[in-house]
Amino acid sequence: MKIIFGKPYITDKEINEVVDSLKKGWLGKGPKVDKFEKDFSKYTGFKYCVALNSCSAGLFLGLKSFGIGCGDEVITSPMTFAATVNAIVATGARPIFVDVKKNIGIID
């Protein structure tokens, strides 16, 4: 049996939005991103929201927002995706791997 991990649900509506963006030349930050950020801000109740291109960028931004940088050490699990460590290293900090609880996989 094949199990698909994280298959996106894409309809013609999403495809048409992508085609519209491509035809208008907005491959990065543009009016649709601005609208998304404002709508998401209203939805969450937060004053500010920033759309990013990946969770990796989110991890990096989160670390930087806490002042993590050169000379810092960040504790993480070795049982994680590479992006976790890549974000730590990108800030100039050093990842420190710690043991995890065998039965639940969280930091011990």
Main-chain dihedrals φ then ψ at residue 61, nearest 5 degrees: -60, -40
Amino acid at 39: D
Quote the pLDDT of residue 26.
Answer: 84
* Token representation of residue 9: 């649900």
Give the per-residue pLDDT at 104.
81
Between CA 60 and CA 93 the distance in angstroms is 11
- Going by C-alpha positions, the residue among 105, 100, 68 that lies closest to residue 87 is 68
Question: What pTM was estimated for this model as a whole?
Answer: 0.70
Letter for the amino acid at 65? S
Q: What tens-digit pLDDT sequence spans the chain (108 residues)? A: 888 778 889 999 999 999 999 999 887 888 889 999 999 999 999 999 999 989 999 999 999 999 999 999 999 988 788 999 999 999 999 999 998 888 887 787
Within 8 A by CB and 6+ apart from 100, the residues are 77, 78, 79, 106, 107, 108
From CA 79, how far away is CA 98, in angstroms rounded?
10
